[in-house]
Chains A and B, each alone.
Chain A
Amino acid sequence: MHVLDTGAGQEKDLTLVCVHGNPTWSYLWRNFLVKAPSNIRVIALDHLGMGYSERLDSDRVLDQRVDDLTRLIRALEITTPIMSLAHDWGGPISLGWVEREIASGDHDIAGVILLNTAVHQPKEFKNPAVIRLARARGLLAPVTEYTQGFVFGTRILSGSKMSREVAAGFRAPYRKRESRKAIHGFVADIPFEEDHVSRATLDEIALNLNLLSQTPVLMCWGPNDPVFSDIYLRDLKSRIPHAEVHRYEGASHLVSEDAPDLVSDVFHWIASPTGPNVDSSGDFDNSMVDFGEQMKKQAIHRPNVVGLTAMNEHRSVTWRELQSQTEFSMRYLSEEGVTAGDRVAFLVPPGPLLIPLIYATWNLGAAVVLADSGLGLRGMFRALRGAHIDHVVGIPRAWPLMRGLQIPGSRISTKELDRASERGQSRAVVDAATNYEFPSNDLGAVVFTSGSTGPAKGVQYSRGHIARTVAALQSQYSINSHDVIIAAFAPWAVFGPALGIASVLPDMNPGKPSSLTYRALNESVVRAGGTLLWASPAALTNVLDTVPERENADWSGIRLILSAGAPVPKSLLKRLAELIPSASIRTPYGMTEALPLSEISLAEILSSDEDHGVLVGKGLPGVDIKIAPWSDPNHLTNDAGLMGEIVVRAPHMKNSYNNLAFTERMSSQFLGWHRTGDVGHLDADGALWIEGRKSHVITTPMGVITPVPVEQRVESLDFVRQAACVGVGPKDASVVVIVYIESDQGRKLSQLQREDRVREVAGTQIAAILLVKSLPTDIRHNAKLNREEISRWASKKLAGSA
């Protein structure tokens, strides 16, 4: 047997045993062998008949391969604790051996790491098409043995473009037909059939996974794998619920080739396999949460009062109708198989159909998966695939999309519900005795962040966290039953029924905040009685841009405007205050992971004249805000003036990320706290100032530059409409570049005069000043500058022609 071994020694306190699949060989683990810390011994074997191990006369079955591995480990006389690392069909082999070790107690198994593998063929799902094809009668031998097809095929399964050199490495031991015999044997040994010789062994391995209940387990997954798709990940997760999972978005079958961070991530995990205690709520919460309670109450006490108005559909729905539509949706979803613990996604536009569906899902004890169209179609599909949903509920128009989606889970059409909704359920009787209580710690929602930096991240909230968010909103804004929420940012419409207040969806495209017009907003106030407005700066900007020439509308009904989702320019708030003097204007700060964290009124913003970032106020009651200083990032401080990452703690904070173990570990580096990825500082009064995103900080030889304060100073110039401050060049030796959009005042000055003015106010050295027509922003809010993209563009522009 051909075995790579970095060697035993005094300094070794752990041994990592790497088990490849088919048709790869120990070459797969080369980066682990090279990059292993000095205290870790790495052993990578080639299965008999594979790689550079000797070729056999007969095929080897799973049971024999488990024996081979067990005997090899015995022979190596390992004295340290052992972790296993396996890929593809190496997964069952390694697990078979690990289970024997745990059962016998011969070796201390310190952890198990699995990459794209499986131990069971989920019944409802067909065998992987690629394998089925390769296994088709008469095709198996030609594909696997006679030609290099299977070896080539596996290479194609790598999502990234594999270099010629690496491809040759994978192929090296399989160049001759007789060298590929075992590849054929391996595929033939996959026990699809009930009576297959290895079936019993595989079933036993799957069954014995409960032996791993005390063993740390990590699964790293390439979701684009056409063989071991997310179906198998879900199956494994259901068998090893305590496993940590990280899905490397964009990676395929050979995940360790496709995800450049995987090797270092795995070694990080090995260093602390039990990881941080991620329960941010502190004490174990054994209370119950009933999201349907408020809606039911309203339906009983004020049945004929409007609970939801959809301006674009010209429809208003009373509380009684909402409640009965919710109950009807519950029965319908229940018939379609939705039960407690399931994850349900919706391809339904916000409105009188969706809101009852969401509450019906909650009332059934299931979790909602919210990935709105603001993520873009591609982003939304990717999010849904990653969320491991059990059901997709879609309007008939969305059906062609759902078919092309390639996501698991049952498909539920809203056709029936729609009819019910149109008939109206006004005569239905509400049963006051029913309640929809489910444990606080159950999953309530998976919400996807806007993903302005990389793929959208799914944030998991327990029911308790959602309830605490609702409570935080209620007390912070003194919300009472006479309030009506204007949800210009669609996800907020969901909170209305939980708060027991009516909601209005203004006449706009819910996926595009900037489609909110002056007229649409005013109608939401005058005709639907809106008193509270949630809107993004992009929506408010468009409201101000569409003010008619003769403006005399009645705005007296609106009492509070909350501008959230992205930094809000001062000038915008001022104009808004002039337009709607009756409303108190506030900007809460927070993120999908925790909202609201702090907030500030317009008056407070206007009285602060410093331009050192965006002032977002002090932490709300119960919220702690600290800074992990740039110069000392492993400590948290309250010291005034120190710039660093903003780290928060709040009772209504997210529980974890969805299948992103390493993102989770990073964000929870400080036990019980959440690293926001934003940078800023606290002032002497303890108020928070935002200076940008951590990934947008520019490290120059002269020091560290945060973008927002520079942009604010440049935007104070009358010829600048909007400015972006980005870095160009290598890390720690970058130069600062300003990219700006000109205002109509721009023509008065020469180019050099404008550049002089920018340099005068910037407060830092500026290498280049570039004028553009528009600046890219995120899809969802149309307000957060995509500084990564601007930096890439500027780098290319300033590199010149060659």
Chain B
Amino acid sequence: MRVLVTGGTGLLGSSVVQEILNLGHECVVVQRNPSGIAGAREFLDDLTAPRNLDQWLAEVDAVVHLAAKVGIVGSYQEFYEANVKATQMLLESAKQHGVKRFIYASSPSVAHTGSALIGAGAQPARPASVRGAYSKTKALAELDVLAANTSSFSTVALRPHLVWGPGDTQLIERIVERARSGRLFYIDGGYALIDTTYVTNAGQAFACSLNASPEAFGKPHMVTNGEPRTVRETLMRITEAAGVPGPSRSVSFRIAMAAGRAAEFAWRNRTSEPPLTSFLVEQLATAHWFDIEQTKKLLNWSPTISIDEGFAQLRNWYSRL
């Protein structure tokens, strides 16, 4: 099978490419800047205004669409162009080029309206209710992707939750950085139970979905390690692996929320991300863990790296630095 991966750089992207190659497929990647992924043929293009789409979509059997605009910086229009428009364009072109499978990397935030998620399944995306341009546009795109599912063009959405692993510059490195400078704290003791996903497991979920059972298509699926941990333990394990001091104090939810809002306000005209956002506070203070049995069954997938093995890998990685 020839598989096109968009957004093949980054922690998740490189793992997805690696796992697709491991399954013996041929891999093509398209992105804006050269990345040099071993074993994959690389095309340079901009998904919001593609110039040589016919080239990189030629003879492709499946598309794994990871590319997206993330974070909170930028106008709604920018998010819409990158996340909704580009996805619609890709869907339409893939169909025209005879692609059989379309696998979309979505986000748990497309259905999360703030309340605790406890053993939840993948609820339908709710673009009108979710907060922030990222979540809204990812939700709209997910609905488009799933609506395009037909018997000849199978589409599916995967929602990996908090992907991490060695070399992660997003989640892990930010936590470690804050811990190093003594700015890492718990919210209300950090007892909220959260799911995370070790990167290899997430990569394998995408690779497996190329051969998912027919009932898997047209639906969103949660991808996690299936081993929720408290925020408290997760932060302790990460900082311990990195050899930095763990969080030393706890602040109340209300104070953290106020600080998050204040930071969002202060950063409203800057181009960098604020150090704290109300969304992040909510994520750190609210349970969100999922029932992934359905995902495992329908994708013929299950996590191969346990969370404890993941932490051990992280410790190794930091000890070699």
A-to-B contact residues, CB < 8 Å:
701, 728-730, 733-735, 751-752, 755, 759, 765, 767-768, 770, 795, 797-802
Contact = CB atoms under 8 A, between A and B. Distances in A.
A421 to B, nearest CB: 57
Nearest to B233: A755
B236 interface: yes
B227 A798 contact: no
A801 B236 contact: no
Interface in B208-244: 226-231, 233, 236-237, 240
A733 B293 contact: yes
B227 A767 contact: yes
Contact of B119 (A730, A797, A801): A730
18 contacts: A701-B291, A701-B292, A728-B193, A730-B118, A733-B119, A733-B293, A751-B236, A755-B233, A767-B227, A767-B229, A768-B193, A768-B230, A800-B192, A801-B192, A801-B285, A802-B114, A802-B253, A802-B286
A331 to B, nearest CB: 64
B187 interface: yes
Contacts of B116: 799-800, 802
A735 B114 CA distance: 22
A801 B253 CA distance: 6
B253 A735 contact: no
Residue of B116, B226, B292 with most chain A CB atoms under a 10 A cut-off: B116
B193 A752 contact: no
Nearest to A798: B193
A768 B192 CA distance: 10
Nearest to B284: A800
Rank and list the top 10 A-B pairs by shortest CB-CB distance, nearest first.
A800-B192, A729-B119, A801-B253, A733-B291, A801-B285, A798-B193, A802-B286, A733-B119, A730-B119, A800-B286
Contact of B236 (A752, A759, A770): A752
B285 A800 contact: yes
Nearest to B290: A733
A802 B193 contact: no
B168 interface: no
B115 interface: yes
A752 B232 CA distance: 10
A801 B188 contact: yes
B289 A735 contact: yes
A735 B289 CA distance: 10
Interface in B242-260: 253
A802 B282 CA distance: 8
Contact of B287 (A733, A734, A752, A799): A799
A748 B268 CA distance: 48
The DSSP consensus for interface residues of chain B is mixed
A799 B230 contact: no
Nearest to A769: B233
Interface string B89-124: 000000000000000000000000011101100000
A728 B287 CA distance: 12
A798 B291 contact: no
B293 A701 contact: yes
A752 B234 CA distance: 10
A728 B187 CA distance: 21
Given A733-B291, A735-B119, A801 B233 contact: no
Contact of A797 (B187, B191, B228, B289): B191
Q: Is the interface of A mostly helix, strand, loop or mixed?
A: mixed
Contacts of B118: 728-730, 795, 799
Residue of B192, B227, B228, B287 with most chain A CB atoms under a 10 A cut-off: B287
Contacts of B231: 800
A703 to B, nearest CB: 12
A797 B118 CA distance: 12
A737 to B, nearest CB: 9
B62 to A, nearest CB: 29
Contact of A798 (B114, B191, B240): B191
Nearest to A731: B119
A765 B291 contact: no
Given A729-B118, A733-B293, A800 B191 contact: yes
B227 A800 contact: no
A768 B233 contact: yes
Contact of A800 (B240, B287, B293): B287
A799 B286 CA distance: 6
Contact of A767 (B228, B253, B286, B308): B228
A752 B227 contact: no
A701 B226 contact: yes
Given A733-B291, A765-B227, A767-B228, A799 B233 contact: no
A800 B228 CA distance: 13
Contacts of A730: 118-119, 291
Contacts of A799: 116, 118, 192-193, 286-287
A799 B188 CA distance: 11
B184 to A, nearest CB: 16
Contacts of B237: 752
B188 A734 contact: no
Contact of B230 (A733, A795, A798, A802): A798
B169 to A, nearest CB: 25
Given A701-B293, A752-B237, A802 B115 contact: yes
Contacts of A728: 118, 193
Nearest to A795: B118
Contacts of A752: 233, 236-237, 240
Contacts of B293: 701, 733
A554 B231 CA distance: 56
B115 A801 contact: no
B227 to A, nearest CB: 7
Given A752-B237, A767-B228, A767-B229, A729 B282 contact: no
Contacts of B285: 800-802
**Of listed A728, A755, A800, A801, residue having the most chain B CB within 10 A:** A800
A797 B191 CA distance: 6
Contacts of A797: 191
B228 to A, nearest CB: 5
A217 B285 CA distance: 54
Q: Which of A729, A752, A770 has the most CB of B within 10 A?
A: A729
A798 B287 CA distance: 6
Interface centre among A729, A770, A797, A802 (most CB of B within 10 A): A802
A768 B187 contact: no
Contacts of A770: 191
Contacts of B193: 728, 735, 767-768, 798-800
Given A735-B119, A735-B193, A799-B118, A729 B289 contact: yes
Contacts of B253: 801-802
A754 B230 CA distance: 15
Nearest to A759: B308
A526 B150 CA distance: 87
Among B118, B231, B282: residue with most chain A CB under 10 A: B118
